[in-house]
C-alpha cells in the first residue's frame, strides 16, 4: 500500500483533496469561458459559415404561437443569427432579451439592432438574472460549451420562467456522453438522449420532445442537432 493510500481517509487529507478538486474545477470553468468572453469573426461561431435561423424558427413556430405578449430570452446570441431571422419573419413578441458572455458581441448587436423592447446584455447564463419572468427561452449551439455541464444554467433559467414557458435548447447530435477540451481550448460536452432527459428532469423541466434539426451547411457538412423542447414542471 502506498503512503498516500494509507492516509487517504484522514480528515486533513480529505480536506486537502477537496480543496484541490474545487480549485481544479474553478480553473477548468474559467478555461471553458475564455474563448466566449473574447471576440472572433462571426462565421467562426457557426461552423465557419454564416447561417440563418430558419430551420430552428420552423421548429419553434411549430410548437409555439408567438404573440405580442411573449417575453423572449435568448441565451448566447452570437452574431444575431436567430434574432435576424425573427425580424425577417416578423415574429411577434413583447420583449426580446439576449444574454451574451462577450461584451464585444453585445456592443455590436446593440448597435445593429437599436430597437425598443430589445435588449442585448452582457452576462453569464449560469448566474445572470433579471427581475422579469420569461415565457419563451431560445438557445442554439451554446449549451455544449457549459462546464462541466448545463445544470447550473438550466437551474438559473428555471428561476426566471413563468409556469407556461416554452424552452427550446439545441445540443450536439450524439448517442454518447462525452466531454473534452479541443486544442484551441474550446470545451465540448456531448449528451446522450437519456442523459438529456435525466438532466432536464433533475433541473425541474418536463421534456415535451427532442427533435432532430439541421441548422445549415457548415464547412464540414450539414450541422445536425438535437433540439430539446421543454416546459418547467
Ligand atoms: C457557438 S456560439 C453560437 C451563437 C448563436 N447562438 C448561434 O447559434 O448562431 C456560442 C455563443 O454563446 C455565447 N456563450 C457561451 N457561454 C455563455 C454563457 N455562459 N452565457 C451567455 N452566453 C454564452 C458565446 O459567447 C457565443 O456567442
The domain that holds 202 is classified in CATH as 3.40.50.150
Give all strands of the β-sheet with 95-100 in edge-to-edge order.
118-122, 95-100, 71-75, 134-139, 161-172, 221-232, 205-218
- Whether 8 maps to a domain, the answer reads no
Helix (H, G, I), strand (E, B) or coil at 200: helix
What is the Å distance from ligand 1's center to 48 Cα? 15
Could you read off the pLDDT of 115-154 as tens digits, one per residue? 999 999 999 999 999 888 999 999 999 999 999 999 999 9
Provide the number of structural domains found in the chain: 1
What is the Å distance from ligand 1's center to 201 Cα? 23
Name the grid cell of 79.
452574431
Reported as half-sphere exposure (CB side, CA atoms, 13 A), residue 42 has a value of: 12
Could you read off the pLDDT of 167-212 as tens digits, one per residue? 999 999 999 999 999 999 999 999 999 999 999 999 999 999 999 9
Identify the CA nearest to 105 among candidates 74, 78, 145, 85.
Answer: 78
Q: What is the pTM of this model?
A: 0.94
- Whether 62 maps to a domain, the answer reads yes
Share above pLDDT 90 across residues of the chain, in percent, rounded to a whole number:
87
Share above pLDDT 70 across residues of the chain, in percent, rounded to a whole number:
99
pLDDT at residue 2 is higher than 80:
no
- Whether 187 maps to a domain, the answer reads yes
Identify the CA nearest to 91 among candidates 56, 119, 140.
Answer: 56
Structural domain boundaries, residue 101: 35-232
- Whether 48 maps to a domain, the answer reads yes
Confidence band of 12 (pLDDT split at 50, 70, 90): confident
Please report the atom of ligand 1 found closest to the CA of residue 51: 9
CA distance 217 to 122: 29
Q: Which residues pair with 229 in a beta bridge?
A: 168, 209
CA distance 96 to 66: 12
- Whether 28 maps to a domain, the answer reads no
pLDDT at position 120 is 98
- Residue in the structure block whose three cell numbers are 477548468: 28
pLDDT at residue 48 is higher than 70:
yes
Q: Which residues line ligand 1 (CB under 6 A)?
A: 36, 45-46, 75-78, 81, 99-102, 105, 124-126, 140-142, 145-146
- Whether 30 maps to a domain, the answer reads no
Amino acid at each position: 500500500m502506498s503512503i498516500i493510500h494509507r492516509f487517504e481517509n484522514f480528515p486533513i487529507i480529505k480536506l486537502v483533496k477537496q480543496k484541490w478538486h474545487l480549485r481544479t474545477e474553478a480553473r477548468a470553468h474559467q478555461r471553458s469561458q475564455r474563448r466566449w468572453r473574447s471576440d472572433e469573426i462571426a462565421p467562426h461561431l457557426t461552423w465557419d459559415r454564416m447561417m440563418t435561423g430558419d430551420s430552428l424558427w420552423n421548429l419553434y413556430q411549430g410548437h409555439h404561437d408567438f404573440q405580442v405578449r411573449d417575453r423572449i430570452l435568448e441565451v448566447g446570441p452570437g452574431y444575431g443569427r436567430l434574432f435576424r431571422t425573427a425580424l425577417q419573419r416578423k415574429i411577434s413578441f413583447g420583449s426580446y432579451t439576449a444574454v451574451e458572455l462577450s461584451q464585444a458581441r453585445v456592443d455590436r448587436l446593440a448597435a445593429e439592432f437599436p430597437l425598443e423592447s430589445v435588449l442585448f446584455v452582457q452576462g453569464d447564463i449560469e448566474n445572470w438574472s433579471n427581475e422579469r419572468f420569461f415565457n419563451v427561452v431560445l438557445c442554439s449551439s451554446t449549451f455544449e460549451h457549459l462546464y462541466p455541464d448545463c445544470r447550473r444554467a438550466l437551474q438559473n433559467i428555471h428561476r426566471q420562467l413563468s409556469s407556461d414557458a416554452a424552452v427550446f435548447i439545441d445540443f450536439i447530435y450524439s448517442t454518447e456522453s462525452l466531454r473534452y477540451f479541443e486544442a484551441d481550448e474550446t470545451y465540448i460536452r456531448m449528451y446522450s438522449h437519456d442523459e438529456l432527459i435525466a438532466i432536464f428532469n433533475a433541473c425541474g423541466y418536463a421534456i415535451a420532445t427532442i427533435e432532430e434539426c439541421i441548422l445549415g451547411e457548415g464547412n464540414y457538412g450539414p450541422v445536425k442537432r438535437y433540439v430539446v423542447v421543454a416546459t418547467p414542471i
